Amino acid sequence: MSTEGRPGHLYVQTSDTRNAVIHFERAADGTLGEAETVATGGAGSGAFNYRATPAGLVVEGANSVLMTPDQRLLFAVNAGDNSISSFDVNKDGNLTLLDVKRTGNAVSGKSGTAKSLEYASASRTLYVLHTFGPDQIRLLSVDEDGLLQLRPERYSAVPPDKPARITTMLTVSPDQKYLLVGCSVDEPPAANPDGSPIVWVSKNGEPHSIFANAPDPDGLAVFPIDALGVLGDPTFQDAGASSPWCPLFLHQRPTEFVIGYATADGLALAGLGVDGRVSTGPVVRADTGIGRPSELCWMAITPDDGLVFATMTGYGYVTSWRLQGNVLSVAKDPACPKPAGDGTFRGLGGIVGTSPSDMWMSPDGAYLYQIYPNASKLIGYAIRPDGWLDEITCAAIPYNTTQGLAGI
């Protein structure tokens, strides 16, 4: 990877109850400087995020801040009130709030459930994923001025026999013909007396995992997309392993993607056929010697598809994999030192960490930026060719709420 990149901008949302987007300027050497904080006009879920309470498990998602391909518009999810904000991005990277629209799904309790965004530029359709159903997916149209219009379509992203399944993120295929939906568990976990989650339940007298795609091979929802952005009937397909969290398409091979597994603790290379059928290769697991699950979640891929970085959220650090042809292998595990938090975060495996969440890679592949909410840090790394990450910048962010990264 390059040791010197190009300057640009980075955007992260606070997810405070009065939500805002923090705009950082990126220097050519990858360092960050805070430029402005702009209110979204909506409500974040606040400290409800990232296991500050047990229910925080259900509000994590990816792509909660999203840039359009032409870099003119930025979108942000307001998870607290189920609304979406759109911003104009000017030539200096500064933001102007354009619109705020509700997704149409009701809010009950402490927070809403909107979590993940994807955008199909051909039809100017913004897809919004919610944690719970029955209408996990809602659509908004985006006009030339960045104004939003809620559309009537609504879709379930889970099998009929698993209405309590928790979804994680959306991915639109590069040809914009299919929408893929990841998931984590088939039902929200109950808690033991010490607060730890119960992930095994009795079913027909036998122990049964609550993790999605284990054992039922139906963990990945695939929707066809028509020319107007409307979704067809989904197929629920075998994702290859348990808790298929993050499908991420390759840059150089647009019919292939890497899929990460939160409870299978690794990555697999997968293909998407012209008929929407998914085929997956073997899972290449990280080192799980310190406990399971790793809660591998957010991912980023270098422009040449040679390296894949993933958060080991339950462990508190980032791990890298190398992709050579059709072969994945672990590159660096971990790929960086483990930052210190305040000791209050524990993943499903009970391991103390800093709850690393969303990440973003600069388009030139020079730098990777990682959110550590429990440490109140946004850390920037220079990417080494061997998959190691050198810390080169650190910015303060709100404690235990911040999520979503996008940039230019």
Q: What is the pLDDT of residues 333-380, one digit of tens each?
A: 999 999 998 888 877 778 888 889 999 999 999 999 999 998 999 999
Domains of the chain in sequence order: 118-142+157-407 (2.130.10.10)
- Structure confidence at residue 1 (pLDDT): 42
Q: Predicted confidence band at 57 (pLDDT cuts at 50, 70, 90)?
A: very low
Q: Predicted confidence band at 2 (pLDDT cuts at 50, 70, 90)?
A: very low
Average pLDDT score over residue span 21-31: 96
Residue carrying the six token digits 């759109």: 86
Average pLDDT score over residue span 65-83: 95
- Structure confidence at residue 197 (pLDDT): 72
- The string of DSSP letters for 221-247 reads EEEEB-TTS-B---EEE--SSS-EEEE
Q: Is the pLDDT of residue 235 over 70?
A: yes
Average pLDDT score over residue span 255-273: 96
DSSP 214: S
- Structure confidence at residue 109 (pLDDT): 78
- Structure confidence at residue 52 (pLDDT): 46
Instruction: Please give the Cα distance from 61 to 191 (Å, whole number).
Output: 21
Cα atoms in the 13 Å half-sphere on the side-chain side of 64: 35
In the chain, the percentage of residues whose pLDDT exceeds 70 is 93
pLDDT digits (tens, 9 = 90+) for 387-402: 999 999 999 999 888 8
φ/ψ of 57, rounded to 5, equals -55, -30
Q: Predicted confidence band at 202 (pLDDT cuts at 50, 70, 90)?
A: low
DSSP 49: S
Could you count the other beta carbons within 10 Å of the beta carbon of residue 276?
Answer: 19
Question: Residue 224 burial (CB < 10 Å; 0-12/13-18/19+)?
Answer: middle
- Structure confidence at residue 45 (pLDDT): 83
First-to-last CA distance in the chain?
18
Q: What is the pTM of this model?
A: 0.94
Question: Residue 198 burial (CB < 10 Å; 0-12/13-18/19+)?
Answer: exposed
pLDDT digits (tens, 9 = 90+) for 31-56: 999 999 999 999 988 765 545 454 44
- Structure confidence at residue 248 (pLDDT): 94
- Structure confidence at residue 53 (pLDDT): 52
Q: What is the mean pLDDT of the chain?
A: 91
Residue carrying the six token digits 């103390």: 352
Q: 400, 399, 393, 401: which is closest to 7 by C-alpha? A: 393
Question: Residue 325 burial (CB < 10 Å; 0-12/13-18/19+)?
Answer: exposed
- Structure confidence at residue 227 (pLDDT): 96
Q: Predicted confidence band at 136 (pLDDT cuts at 50, 70, 90)?
A: very high
Instruction: Say if CB 383 and CB 302 are below 8 A apart.
Output: yes
Instruction: Please give the Cα distance from 253 to 405 (Å, whole number).
Output: 24
Average pLDDT score over residue span 115-123: 96
Cα atoms in the 13 Å half-sphere on the side-chain side of 33: 8
Q: Predicted confidence band at 133 (pLDDT cuts at 50, 70, 90)?
A: confident
Q: Is the pLDDT of residue 241 over 80?
A: yes
